[in-house]
Amino acid sequence: MQEPSLFAVAKLLEIGLMNLDRVEIYWRPLTNHLLEVCRHPHIRMREWGSEAITFLVRSALLHEDTEEEKVNQLLLSPLCELSSIPHNDVRNKQLMALSQILHCKGEKLQSSWPLAINIVGDIYENHRFAIFNTCLYWNINCKDFKFNQVIN
């Protein structure tokens, strides 16, 4: 099997990073292409795709100083969509990126917290309720973060 060309993935990442001030315009088409790369059967292509999309999401969230929740949800949505990809290498990158995002910007996510909890909950679909109870145990104010949407 011939090695796939990773040039296109590198260019998509470069274009995304150069246009972080215009995420509302290009974000969905660009991340949809990278999500397709993450579904590729060749492991190196998947690695590059998952690295590109997680790096782009982290960079965009750290770049945006806005407190606008609509933008935060837009930026986090590709990370959530990685949950539909069954490959462990992709899921590992997804969880590492989520961990870094929560460490650097967790307190500013506000109503985007359900997206973060869904990512963790999607690892084991049956454990979503246990994760919710753990969050209650940690005394997280569920009304502020709208956790009732996570369980439904």
User: Which residues have C-beta within 8 Å of that of residue 21, sequence separation ≥ 6?
Assistant: none
**37-84 pLDDT tens trace:** 999 999 999 999 999 999 999 999 888 665 677 888 899 999 999 999
Within the chain, what is the greatest distance between any pair of CA atoms? 52
Residue spans of the domains in the chain: they are 7-110
Going by the DSSP 8-state scheme, the letter that residue 15 receives in this structure is H
Three-state DSSP class for residue 39: coil
State pLDDT tens for residues 97-147.
Answer: 998 988 888 777 777 878 887 888 787 665 556 656 655 555 444 444 544
As a whole number, the mean pLDDT across the chain is: 82
pTM, full prediction: 0.79
152: three-class secondary structure by DSSP = coil
In the chain, the percentage of residues whose pLDDT exceeds 90 is 47
Cα of 73 vs its chain's centroid, Å: 10
